[in-house]
Amino acid sequence: MAVITRLGAVILVSIILLLLSPSSVISPGGLPPLPEPVIPVDGTYRRPEDVYCALDKLYETYETITPLESGLSQVKRLPIPAFRIGDGPCALLIMSGIHGDEWPVVGTVLYMAEQYARGMISGAPGETGAAPQEPGTRSGKTVGMSGALADAASLWRDIAVVLRGRSVVVVPVLNPDGLGTSRYNGRGVDLNRNFDAGWAKAIGKKGSAPESEAESKFLADLTRREKPDVVIAFHCFLDCVFWTYDQEGETLKRDEEVARSVIEAYGDLLQGGLQTSSPAESVHGGYKDWFIKEFRRPGITVEAPGRDRFGSLENMVKSDFWPRFQEASVRAGLNAVKTFLRYAQGGLQ
């Protein structure tokens, strides 16, 4: 009897300690506890040190996140961080901050990264760790989610299933020298015109040769090492999704479907929808163009809106739109991987 009582007391104390623990959130179904999130849905990262600080927290909090070797920026020699979520071949590479003045999407990529890390741990919902939420709700509050981005519970299951045995590689700020202040790198080059994709025809401040800048060289080298299935580059202002460069035939068909699965995640959030441009119309020299040309795999550019719809980027990140865009981006990355894998299993890579 005394033994049973002591055992009961131990169990009771354990339960109380678990409930009181500030550093963890209990997952449903006996899954491991989820840590408190460290990247808020509306977090802003306008200085390189803000990004480095957020990364320290991510690395401390998630065992599934591993830092990769950093690059160094061309002029200020600031670290260009990169990291991996999960183990196995790279299914998705997400990057932002190639244009330093498009700082909101640095927060997008960091938010996606943490949500993928959390989904990989538990397959449970991200923010609260509570039981799967009803479609259209978030932490108990309706946020007006639409279409395919509604089902939070299926999103978490999908992350766990789709990314199992695979990894996501993240470059949150490619251009730390320009972050928060300038589109260009420290010596005035537009890094998204500095890649070897029709570079001779590229217009603008494209540098002296493809990959002449330390930043673009770092990203190209990382991409050559990782050979991602899909790349998504995040930008601001144009309110749409770009997905074409020089694809043809079956590759074109597959990439269009991947792009459709991405825009489906955004629903009406991106008013410009899917945008194509012929090789003749292309601006050339872009990272996604280079990825498509070099790897014959889907390269997507997601363009958040900006001044035209919200007056300023500050207004955009303070609006109701922003958390919805962030959540949709998590789903968009996953949709792209799922669609690509479906084709890969059918023989076309």
The whole-angstrom separation of Cα 81 and Cα 24 is 27
Tokens linked to 15: 């339960």
User: Between residues 102 and 229, which has the closer beta carbon with respect to Zn ion?
Assistant: 102
Neighbours of 349 (CB within 10 A): 14
**Nearest residue to 172 via CA among 265, 79, 240, 242:** 79
- By CB under 5 A, is residue 235 in contact with Zn ion? yes
- Among 46, 99, 166, 284, which residue interacts with Zn ion (rule: CB under 5 A)? 99
User: Between residues 61 and 216, which has the closer beta carbon with respect to Zn ion?
Assistant: 216
CB of 78 to Zn ion, least distance (A): 19
User: Between residues 235 and 254, which has the closer beta carbon with respect to Zn ion?
Assistant: 235
CB of 104 to Zn ion, least distance (A): 11
**Nearest residue to 170 via CA among 231, 104, 102:** 231
- Contact segment (CB under 5 A) with Zn ion among 11-19, 102-110, 118-126, 286-294 equals 102-110
CB of 311 to Zn ion, least distance (A): 19
- Contact segment (CB under 5 A) with Zn ion among 18-26, 156-164, 234-242, 245-253 equals 234-242
User: Between residues 183 and 324, which has the closer beta carbon with respect to Zn ion?
Assistant: 183
- By CB under 5 A, is residue 138 in contact with Zn ion? no
The whole-angstrom separation of Cα 257 and Cα 95 is 21
- Contact segment (CB under 5 A) with Zn ion among 25-33, 101-109, 121-129, 252-260 equals 101-109
CB of 188 to Zn ion, least distance (A): 16
Contact between residue 153 and residue 126 where contact means Cβ atoms under 8 Å apart: no
The whole-angstrom separation of Cα 81 and Cα 266 is 27
Letters for 256-285 (x = contact with Zn ion by CB under 5 A, - = none) are: ------------------------------
CB of 263 to Zn ion, least distance (A): 18
Q: State the amino acid at position 79 in one-letter form.
A: P
Strand order in the sheet with 79-86: 65-72, 79-86, 167-171, 90-95, 230-236, 299-304, 240-242, 274-275
CB of 280 to Zn ion, least distance (A): 21
CB of 183 to Zn ion, least distance (A): 7
The whole-angstrom separation of Cα 24 and Cα 84 is 23
User: Between residues 235 and 288, which has the closer beta carbon with respect to Zn ion?
Assistant: 235
User: Between residues 99 and 284, which has the closer beta carbon with respect to Zn ion?
Assistant: 99
Contact between residue 76 and residue 182 where contact means Cβ atoms under 8 Å apart: no
- By CB under 5 A, is residue 206 in contact with Zn ion? no
User: Between residues 35 and 305, which has the closer beta carbon with respect to Zn ion?
Assistant: 305
- DSSP bridge partners of 234: 302
User: Between residues 99 and 206, which has the closer beta carbon with respect to Zn ion?
Assistant: 99
Q: How far is CA 323 from the centre of its chain?
A: 14
The whole-angstrom separation of Cα 93 and Cα 300 is 10
Q: How far is CA 20 from the centre of its chain?
A: 32
The count of residues interacting with Zn ion (CB under 5 A) is 3
User: Between residues 102 and 327, which has the closer beta carbon with respect to Zn ion?
Assistant: 102
CB of 235 to Zn ion, least distance (A): 3
Q: What's the distance, Cα to Cα, between the start and end of the chain in Å?
A: 65
The whole-angstrom separation of Cα 113 and Cα 221 is 21
- Contact segment (CB under 5 A) with Zn ion among 9-17, 100-108, 219-227, 286-294 equals 100-108
Contact between residue 183 and residue 97 where contact means Cβ atoms under 8 Å apart: no
Interface positions with Zn ion (CB under 5 A):
99, 102, 235
